[in-house]
Amino acid sequence: MEDNQQKQMLEASEGKQHKRKEEEPGLHTGDNRNNTKKKFTFSFWYFIIVFILIIIFNNLFFSSRLNEAISIDYSQFKEYISSGKIVQVAFDGDQYIGFGFTKKDAANAARTLQEIAVTKQIPSSIDTSMISAYQTYRIEDPTFVPLLDQMGVEYYATEPAKPSILSYLISALGPIIIFFIFYAWLSKKMTGGAQGVMSFNQNKSKLVAETDTGIRFADVAGEDEAKAELVEVVDFLKNPEKYTEMGAHIPKGVLLVGPPGTGKTLLAKAVAGEAGVPFFRMSGADFVEMFVGVGAARVRDLFKQAKEKSPCIIFIDEVDAIGRKRSDAAIGGNDEREQTLNQLLVEMDGFDSRTGVIILGATNRAEVLDPALLRPGRFDRQVLVDKPDLDGREAILKIHTKGMKLDGGVNLRKIAQSSAGLAGADLANICNEAALQAVRLRHDSITQQDFEEAIEKSIAGLQRKSRVLDEKERIRVAYHETGHALTAYLTPGSSPVSKISIIPRGYGALGYTLQYPTEDRFLLSESELLSSVDVLLGGRAAEETIFGDISTGASNDISRASDTVRQMITEYGMSEKFRNMTLPKTNSGIDGVSGGREYSEATQQYIDNETERIMQSRYSHVLENLKAHKEALEAIAKALLEKEVLEGSEFEALAKQFAVK
């Protein structure tokens, strides 16, 4: 009965252990016995421990039982012989060893030594001089042996000492052990770790457990459409039977396409975190090195590991590093990159989508990818991860400010409006800069002004109050920035002015004018493009209105204005002669590098003349407009010189007072 109870308890315990292993996160059904076996690894400490044990064994069983002999001079040694203190002499190599007892007394001496070894005390009845030994170095003295005969001293030559077991081991095994240690060290350097000499054929992917990603879809905002596309991938990894029963196949590859900083890597981590599967993360540049064939070997190794860990996710960041279009030209090709791409194409065709291995790729240059990589069966689903809109930016700000101590007056909606065109990474940086600004100024909480300063720092650069401008330059900068702001105010459809400043920022900005749109715009009309050109030319027109000449401060303004006008003619079809035509550039055929033009020299002459005509026309219009509102220009510039910074509300009040639209 007791045996049956013990058997039942043992089976129940084994059942609990088996259940606990099945429930452990990160483990999946399959034959993992090879992974659970403990691998023996050589450690240098094993050798040290064995060496110490050998020394102890040698000292215990092969050390001399006699006390250590007392070293004396040769003359004193002869004197002890003459006085009878030494009655036995052993010739031991190049030494003489003298004893105070004869061989007849050896048995008594042995018993005495044994008693001393056991009791650790010398009996008082024993003559300690009798058990003493003396040694001296041998000297060629012809009178020494006659002296021994004369005194009746027993003398003999000892057998050469046999080497101990330690000596045998050192002489026999020493070279072998040294060679083994050197071989183990060299093997580790050649094959172990990512930095080894011969490890270039191993992949450098990082396996991240489900509990280590720490990212869920709730941590990603502003990309609702992209998340909706990826929810299906997560559902397949969690419930593959639902799709296989219907005969559906999940896409093998999902390509995340979007500008830098929009959250492509974050979305990939969120997919792995939601699905709770292993996550292989690797950069496209990690596949290619100086050795030809290394990239292909790493691709094979990566997919081999992924199949063993399935279901799992392979994330290849910057996939354009290996997926660039293969060149047909005799020159300009890259054999190593093309071999790596070919191997990736083969591997993506070589596994079944039902295995649960899903590849996520990320790139911001989808136009340079090879068409074979984008065909159905490979990266057959492309998910656009674009810059967020107004609502998306507000949601992203809420996520990044969740753990921050915000002031009650912080308006995240206004901050989102002020950060139009910024990606999620930029917004995260703005939140962090605002927190640092609050700490730097010793605020109790993060204020709206801290966020505004962070946005200006991100857009225009760091304030450079140490740069002291000459008074004439300071006045010119004030009129220049006022010209931008006043032109924006007088131009219909232009974005409202948020701030004007004559405090230098960044590398070359001596002042700046900020305009924040009230809503996101995706299309611009011809009149709106010309309005933006007018605002850019307002700074130089203000200088000419007040001072009668112009300066180099408008170099960046006229460059941007010229580019806008040239794009209107060549790309947007907004010229009089080529009203609904584009005038494209050709490509050289090598990685899409821009080459010559696809139009004649006469057309190029027309583009140049038309650009010059439009620029002069818009500049004349802005100049006349500012001259008509010279009083407002001077009043706003004087206020700006006095305060150095004018908020949008202050500027608008002055503009309404002196200017009439």
User: Annotated catalytic sites, by residue?
Assistant: 481
Q: Are 587 and 593 in contact (CB under 8 A)?
A: yes
Q: How far apart are the C-alpha atoms of 162 and 251, rounded to whole Å?
A: 78
Q: What angle is formed at CA 189 by the lines to CA 185 and CA 194, rounded to 5 degrees?
A: 145
Q: In angstroms, how far is CA 623 from the centroid of its own chain?
A: 52
Q: Hey, which bits of 441-558 come out as E strands?
A: 497-501, 512-515
Closest CA to 536 of 439, 614, 432: 614
Q: Which residues pair with 134 in a beta bridge?
A: 70, 98
Query: How far is Cα 313 from Cα 305, in angstroms, rounded to an integer?
Result: 11
Partners of 314 in beta bridges: 280, 359
Neighbours of 266 (CB within 10 A): 17
From 203, 231, 382, select the one nearest 298 (Cα to Cα). 203
Tokens of 263: 């959250």
12, burial (CB in 10 Å: exposed 0-12, middle 13-18, buried 19+): exposed
One-letter amino acid at 143 equals T
Report residue 656 as tokens. Answer: 């309404």
Q: Which residues, including other chains, have CB under 8 Å from residue 89's CB and lie 6 or more apart?
A: 81, 96, 97, 98, 99, 148, 153, 154, 155, 156
Identify whether the C-beta of residue 402 lies closer than 8 Å to the C-beta of residue 446.
no
The distance from CA 118 to its chain's CA centroid, rounded to whole angstroms, is 67
Are the beta carbons of 629 and 486 closer than 8 angstroms?
yes
What is the DSSP secondary structure assignment for residue 445, as one 8-state letter? Answer: S
Q: Six-digit token pair at 137?
A: 């170095």
Distance CA(298)–CA(51), nearest Å, equals 42
Q: How many CA atoms lie within 13 A of 437 on its CB side?
A: 22
Summarize the chain as % helix, strand, coil (round to 5): 55, 10, 35
Residue type at 208 in one-letter notation:
V
DSSP assignment string, 282-333:
EEGGGS--SSTTHHHHHHHHHHHHHHHT-SEEEEEESTHHHHBPPP-SSSS-
Measure the N-to-C terminal CA separation of the chain; round to a whole number of Å: 104
CA of residue 392 relative to chain centroid, distance: 27
| Sheet bearing 133-137, strands edge to edge | 70-71, 133-137, 95-99, 88-92, 154-157
> CA 605, 608, 610, 616 torsion: positive or negative?
negative
Cα gap 404→427, rounded to integer Å: 14
55-to-48, 61, 90, 164, 180 alpha-carbon distances in Å: 11, 10, 28, 10, 21
